Amino acid sequence: MVRLFESTGDGGARAALAEGDAALLRSLFMQVLEMIGPGPAESDDPLAALFAEGPSRPPADPALARLFPDAYGDPEKPVDQEAVEASAEFRRYTETDLRTRKRDDALAVIRTLGGLGADEPLLLSAQECPRWLGATNDLRLILGTRLEVTEDDDFFALPDDDPAKPLAMAYLWLGALQESLLEAMAG
């Protein structure tokens, strides 16, 4: 797997990455792109594009609902109709842009990985690091939702034959990767 990131001294980061690891990461981020879905239809009218509305209902998939949560209300409290309506209106005007940003971040990661030569280190500029951080966070949110992560989970205690083990190890590894990227960005 990828060694953790280290600082390049200019706000960027560097990590050693084997070809197989790059292929695995590309595959995971391609799946993120598939989940997020295609971008909005292109419009020749810039004013129409500016006022385009997105969905007003939360996604049915729990992982997507985690990426695009309601803006109002408390999931621990009974449903408040006013919060539901406010969330729907907020979602209608923000989710399309949020999906575009998340899609662009995942694409940036895929492009960076696609440009690597054999045994070439992964070098991220100061501008690429936040995109990687955001995309990696999105992937961890998806994996965490699929695993139904709680504070009490001990993924290291999972038996090797547990079907959740590979997903759990990827979740933990991505967390370490994120932490090292943050530290590298801080210099």
For residue 82, being part of any structural domain is answered with yes
**pLDDT computed for residue 34 by the predictor:** 95
* In 34-185, beta strands by DSSP E: 122-124
- The yes-or-no verdict on residue 76 having pLDDT over 80 is no
Examine residue 80 and state whether it is found in any structural domain, yes or no. yes
pTM of the predicted structure, to 2 decimals: 0.86
Residue 7 backbone dihedrals phi, psi, to 5 degrees: -70, 145
Give the residue numbers spanning the domain of 114: 6-186
Q: What angle do CA 98, 177, 124 make, to 5 degrees?
A: 70
Residue 180 domain flag = yes
The pairing of strands 122-124 and 13-15 is antiparallel
Q: What is the pLDDT, as a whole number, of residue 187? A: 81
With beta carbons less than 8 A apart as the criterion, state whether 129 and 13 touch. Answer: yes
Does residue 1 form part of some domain? no
Q: Is residue 101 part of a domain?
A: yes
- Which pLDDT value is given to residue 73? 81
Strand partners, 122: 15
Mean pLDDT of the chain: 88
pLDDT score recorded for residue 27: 93
Flag the least confident range among 37-41, 130-134, 175-179. Answer: 37-41
pLDDT at position 61, please?
95
Residue 122 falls inside a structural domain = yes
What single letter denotes the amino acid at residue 160? Answer: D
- Cβ count near 72 (within 10 Å): 15
In this predicted structure, what is the pLDDT of residue 103?
96
Q: Angle 128-147/165-186 helices, nearest 10 degrees? A: 150
- pLDDT surpasses 60 at 1: no
Name the token pair of 105.
Answer: 């971040």
User: Under DSSP, is residue 114 helix (H, G, I), strand (E, B) or coil?
Assistant: helix
Domain count within the chain:
1
- Look at residue 130 and tell me if it is in a domain: yes
